[in-house]
Amino acid sequence: MNHRLFLGIALAVLSAVSLQAQSVIQLHEEADGRYTMDASVNGVGVRTYYAPENWYASMSTTTYLFLYENGYIAPADVNGMTTTKMPDGSTAKAASFVIRNLKIGRIIVQNLPAFVITKQNVPLIVGNAAFDCFGTVTQEGERLIIDDRFEEDFAKEDDTPEVPFEDPAIALEQTLQKHLEAKEYADAANCFAQLQEMGVLTMYSEYQYAMVLNILHRGDDCIALAQPWLEENRGKSLTLDYWMLDALGDSYARKGDKTNAIRYYEEAVDAYCKIFNTTEKNIRKTKFKDETLGYTLYDLAMQYASSDMGKTRYYCTLAAKSGNASAIAFCKKSGFGF
């Protein structure tokens, strides 16, 4: 693990809930036996699971992308790739970043190390290590009790306004991103329609909605829409850049225009890598694994299949290292090592 990440942990602000230098966090038991707690990340409510292990925090790709693209996670918060030990004892490559302000009840943890775990299926997991600067952590049923290790009660009252635990629009946005990552465009279009009814679609999401509709209908309007959008808005949202570029690659691939398909798939790969501050070199070294990126890399490899076997092998290997099942099968069939 990159221990440099933890050197900058600032002393968090503890808002005491009693006169005994003891804080209590209310937990909520789920049907599967796990516990959740009301929390916000940098000012936005995020569904948060409690891990009793010695663990800091980990976030799903979907939640990270939503927070990053909406400005709740800044580029300066991202530290790049690292190796981390998971709560179950296994190790994993993960994108690392810092949560500047994690608010749980009346406790605030500042500059908390966190990791993006691709296969994590819950928005946020916070473990006991997040509360190390306060004192001993004990769970008693649906209560998490933190005993302050310091004799002096230096806590101060937190006047930060409470953030709604789970805003319906945020939850729907997160569901939408999951459908987009899985290329479940019909379900994504349904989410867009609901967001439109709620009146919360931004200019970017309106364009993205139109793109999804065009993908569903396999229309050439996708190209006519995406290219002007990129000329005007490219760079404002790396996530939308990725989806636009990937959709353009798909459109040109369907038209049999390999030159433009390759161009836009390569640009889509570059945009996605920038989101997580990673590179193709890191993917080759298996320091970054992401199935969404794997789809684009495999599509790119197939565009080279009839003209350049070297690049076919290169991109297919990257797709396999990213976890794409079709690429893994193709590499094995073709004798490509990865």
- pLDDT at residue 218, as a whole number: 63
**Does residue 307 share a domain with residue 212?**
yes
Q: Domain range spanning residue 204?
A: 168-334
pTM for the full predicted model: 0.55
**Does residue 178 share a domain with residue 143?**
no
Which regions of the chain are under pLDDT 50? Answer: 1-20, 150-165
- CATH code assigned at 123: 2.40.70.10
User: For residues 202 and 200, what is the distance between their CA atoms, to the nearest angstrom?
Assistant: 6
**Does residue 71 share a domain with residue 7?**
yes
Which amino acid belongs to residue 61?
A: T
Identify whether 161 is part of a domain: no
**What is the tally of structural domains in the chain?**
2
What burial class does residue 3 get, using C-beta atoms within 10 Å of its C-beta: 0-12 exposed, 13-18 middle, 19+ buried?
A: exposed
**Does residue 293 share a domain with residue 194?**
yes
- pLDDT at residue 204, as a whole number: 61
pLDDT, tens only, 300-320 = 999 999 899 999 999 999 999
**Does residue 288 share a domain with residue 196?**
yes
**Does residue 175 share a domain with residue 104?**
no
Identify whether 210 is part of a domain: yes
Identify whether 66 is part of a domain: yes
- pLDDT at residue 157, as a whole number: 40
What does DSSP say about strands 57-60 and 35-37: parallel, antiparallel, or unpaired? unpaired
What does DSSP say about strands 124-127 and 48-51: parallel, antiparallel, or unpaired? parallel
Identify whether 157 is part of a domain: no
**Does residue 181 share a domain with residue 117?**
no
Which amino acid belongs to residue 130?
A: A
CB 144 within 8 A of CB 25: yes
Of the residues 148, 180, 197, which one is the last residue of a structural domain? 148
* H helices, E strands: number in the chain: 11, 14
- pLDDT at residue 11, as a whole number: 28
- CATH code assigned at 326: 1.25.40.10
Identify whether 162 is part of a domain: no
- pLDDT at residue 159, as a whole number: 46
- pLDDT at residue 2, as a whole number: 34
**Does residue 211 share a domain with residue 89?**
no
**Does residue 239 share a domain with residue 128?**
no
Identify whether 158 is part of a domain: no
